Structure 1
Amino acid sequence: MQHYANPAKVNLVLDLFRAYPKAAQQIAAVQWRCFFDTGAFKRNLPIHIASPLSARFKQTCQYQVVGMLNSFIANRANDFKDAVMGIPDAILAAFDARHSERAWLGSHGRPVSYTRVALLYLGKYRAWYRAAPAMKGLPIPAEILRLARSIMRGVFARHRRPSMGQIQMLLDEKVARIEATRSMAEHTPFAYWVKLATLRPGKPISIPIHANVHYESVAGERMACVQINLGERGLSIGFVKDVPVTPYAPRMEVLGVDVGLRYLVATSAGDLMGRGLLDRLIVWDRQITALAANRQKQGLRVRSRRYDTLVARVRSFLKNEINRVLNRLLAVRQPDEIVIESLDFRSPDLSRRMNRLVQNFGRTVFRQALAAKAEQFGFTATEVNAAYTSQSCAKCGYVDKKNRRAERFTCRHCSHTAHADINAAMNIRNRRSVATMASRWVSQSAILEALVRQFLERCTQRPYSRPGSGILSNPYFLGFAGWRTESSMENSEAPLL
């Protein structure tokens, strides 16, 4: 939304921006202490901080801070679940043995690890730091609670806490109220006015706002909150709408998606979308690299108005392309669940500078766009470990580094051929149902071992698909010496696929 605040009003808003982040940092510190003491953030916690903000402004700030922290913890809960699912059964068996009286039966009627179930329970309800969490009326053993907290320390070590130093202001109607122009008879070109409290008690200001065609065209109810941002171009003001859930009828159950730069999206259904993305990025990469090198040669700092403009173009292009491709994908396939790999937007064809930009920005935008569309349409988005998805055959499961040559995949065992990215997408789709390989915390070596064992078990169950002699030279199979000896003796007697 375009605002028309005069310089005096802008200065009063800037005064708020000098006080608001400092208050947010103090509130966040108190909330983190509350979280580790009680196991939860509290929106209505009494606020005792030194700040020129009014009590109402502090409360609004605390609501925003708690919302950000809860969102952060929700993501860390997913990381915790991945870590728990990646713990080998042998490690959990020692804990289970000490609590054998609490043996747990799964939905299939077979015993499952009580320790794993208890850890998942703690993660589901975010009860890692509660005083005495209980499951099914029984307190969770202290050593399992200590294990959960140890896992969470590892999770927190991988992710920095949200920084409030650059927080923008999301204000509710206690301190910022939107007033719509009632009629054209008021003789004003402005569609709205924002009545905003300031650091001067009892002296709010009114900021005129021009209508935004795109905002008005979006269906939904305007919410009673105002977003005020401070960026390089000064102040910007935005309104928020509660957009209704779009009717969505899934036409397929699960769709695997491989994300990259040569093709932004390849799917398990055979789609290749987002062609030409890498070519455009290479052009911008050359321009940015040449500009940076020239400025460094002159002894100037790299950033300049032209440099920032080029970077902004790259970001804008990535954001538009990601949203365009996702919209197209959902319109064509309409899956009930989308399974993606751990996102990696790097390419050897790009410079280190461009790879860093594309990786950091592209990954964030893709995740945010996918999460927003999942919420809008009601489908599920699942992220799995991508290790060896590009080297494994989606048909027989054979894993070999030589299976893939550029964009072509040809299995050296069953001769299955496919586009390499589509084959990877099929593996990503299949991996979601294998808990021991889906977790992003499982090591590559553990996944490789699981893939090799799974393939060999299939060969044992199907004598007609006995591995060929070429597999004996595959370094991935070197750790299975017993099988290699037996296979070399029987290989000449069994027909090969």
Structure 2
Amino acid sequence: RIDFDASCYTVRSTEDVQLLELMSMRPGKRISLRLKGRSKIRGTLQLIRDTAGAYSLRVYLPQECEKRKTGTLIGIDLGYTEMMATSEQELLGTDLGQYFSAISDKRRKNSEGRNRMYSLFRNLLKKPDKDKLAKAERIRKNNLGRKKQRARYIRDIGVIKTIVNRELNLLFTRKTNPIKEIVVEDLSTRMKVHFGKKWNRRLSGWMRGYLQERIRYKARKFGIEVNEVNPAYSSRECPRCHCTDKENRQGNSFKCSLCGYHGHADLVAALNILGRLGDKEIRIGMPPSQVKAVLDGRYVGWKSLNHTVSDKTSGVARVVNESPRSASLKSELRSNVQVCIASR
């Protein structure tokens, strides 16, 4: 891909054709391209060459999208085994994790084969025999090239992009219960993936940036407001009692060690992300240690509340059984949290 800003190209039109003249590496020499059809060309252009050798030109134009005035608010947790989990208890992009695993296994197998061939290639170069050197050259030419490896990588990335865009389009354009706003984890935070160190370094950086860009772009395109919150401990926090015990999450399963609340770990994280919208105590950029201190205070407050509330009609103590993120419970916990933190 090559980017051309407005100073690097000119557009000429005749009666029959529209021509685009691009700056080249030779001073004073421009490359003339004949365009199919006619269009307004302005701003930065991208010249794309695909694996088949075909060229395409991308022209970016600003889009004015009106924000949606009606709809629902949902929380979204981003992942890899499932691309997204929503606070409406939906898992989207469940085939993404399977595809990642297949890519990882295939690339690891190919890397092992290339390493063996490279080792053989180096050993052959150490021998002065003419036949050995000829064999080393054949190995270098036929087994150590980057062209096919690069083509496979581009093909695999293309499938991943298709899955990501498909799921975002289905979510943002649904007809029943349309979405007005979404709450997501801070898109500047680092995401984690567990498919091997080498593959992680290459894929996680690309995938993180691509997901961030797609969410922002698709939300802006469909007029959906994006709210970001601090994601620290969102996958370990119990949405009912705020316990953050590391034993709460085991793989994709979540079960609170205190109150017994259970469910899919990513769906629980989506509930927590939604609950942090408008939370004045857990702010974006706050270190995880401070987030845990706030959650620990709420956890202590919940335990105290659930063991001291008494039934005024009978005078008998009872345990409060509230659903996760109950509004009344949340307001009571906020006051208890301030007392707990102040007493530390």
TM-score after normalising by structure 2: 0.70
Deviation track 1:458-491 (CA, whole Å, cap 9, x = no partner) reads: 4445524879xxxxxxxxxxxxxxx9xxxxxxxx
d(CA) in 2 for partners of 1:309, 1:437? 44
What is the Cα deviation at residue 175 of structure 1? 4.7
Deviation track 1:407-432 (CA, whole Å, cap 9, x = no partner) reads: 33222333323222111111111223
The amino acid of 1:449's aligned partner reads A
Task: Check whether the contact 2:46–2:59 (CA below 8 A) recurs between aligned residues.
Answer: no
Match among 3, 10, 17 for residue 177 of structure 1: 10
More helix by share: 1
Task: Check whether the contact 1:460–1:466 (CA below 8 A) recurs between aligned residues.
Answer: no
Task: Check whether the contact 1:257–1:425 (CA below 8 A) recurs between aligned residues.
Answer: yes
d(CA) in 2 for partners of 1:181, 1:338? 50
Indicate yes or no: 2:71 matched with 1:224: no
1:3-402 equivalent positions in 2, closer than 5 A: 168-172=2-6, 175-179=8-12, 182=15, 186=16, 192-196=18-22, 200=27, 206-210=32-36, 222-225=40-43, 227-229=45-47, 236=55, 238-242=57-61, 244-246=63-65, 249=68, 251-299=70-118, 304-332=146-174, 333-341=178-186, 342=189, 344-347=191-194, 350-402=195-247
Change in CA separation of 1:455 and 1:251 when aligned onto 2, cut-off 3 Å:
farther
SS of the residue aligned with 1:426?
helix
What is the Cα deviation at residue 257 of structure 1? 0.9
What is the Cα deviation at residue 229 of structure 1? 4.2
The amino acid of 1:306's aligned partner reads K
d(CA) in 1 for partners of 2:185, 2:146? 37
Indicate yes or no: 2:293 matched with 1:449: yes
d(CA) in 2 for partners of 1:453, 1:258? 24
Indicate yes or no: 2:274 matched with 1:429: yes
d(CA) in 1 for partners of 2:191, 2:273? 14
Change in CA separation of 1:232 and 1:316 when aligned onto 2, cut-off 3 Å:
closer
The amino acid of 2:101's aligned partner reads I
The amino acid of 2:43's aligned partner reads C
What is the Cα deviation at residue 317 of structure 1? 1.7
Match of 2:332 in 1: none
What is the Cα deviation at residue 375 of structure 1? 2.6
What is the Cα deviation at residue 362 of structure 1? 0.7
d(CA) in 2 for partners of 1:410, 1:204? 65
d(CA) in 1 for partners of 2:11, 2:293? 60
The number of aligned residues is 282
SS of the residue aligned with 1:366?
helix
Task: Check whether the contact 1:245–1:377 (CA below 8 A) recurs between aligned residues.
Answer: no
d(CA) in 1 for partners of 2:31, 2:151? 34
Consecutive unaligned residues of structure 1, counting only runs of 5 or more, are 1-166, 468-482, 484-497
d(CA) in 1 for partners of 2:243, 2:277? 18
Change in CA separation of 1:237 and 1:179 when aligned onto 2, cut-off 3 Å:
farther
What is the Cα deviation at residue 194 of structure 1? 0.4
d(CA) in 1 for partners of 2:152, 2:300? 52
Task: Check whether the contact 2:77–2:84 (CA below 8 A) recurs between aligned residues.
Answer: yes
Deviation track 1:358-408 (CA, whole Å, cap 9, x = no partner) reads: 201110110111121233233332333322111111123222222223333
What is the Cα deviation at residue 436 of structure 1? 3.9
The amino acid of 2:45's aligned partner reads Q
d(CA) in 1 for partners of 2:216, 2:14? 35
d(CA) in 1 for partners of 2:166, 2:289? 36
d(CA) in 2 for partners of 1:329, 1:343? 24
The amino acid of 1:412's aligned partner reads S
What is the RMSD of the two structures over their aligned residues, measured on CA atoms? 3.3
The amino acid of 2:301's aligned partner reads E
SS of the residue aligned with 1:224?
coil
d(CA) in 1 for partners of 2:32, 2:146? 35
d(CA) in 1 for partners of 2:64, 2:46? 26
What is the Cα deviation at residue 309 of structure 1? 2.0
Consecutive unaligned residues of structure 2, counting only runs of 5 or more, are 122-139, 310-317, 321-339
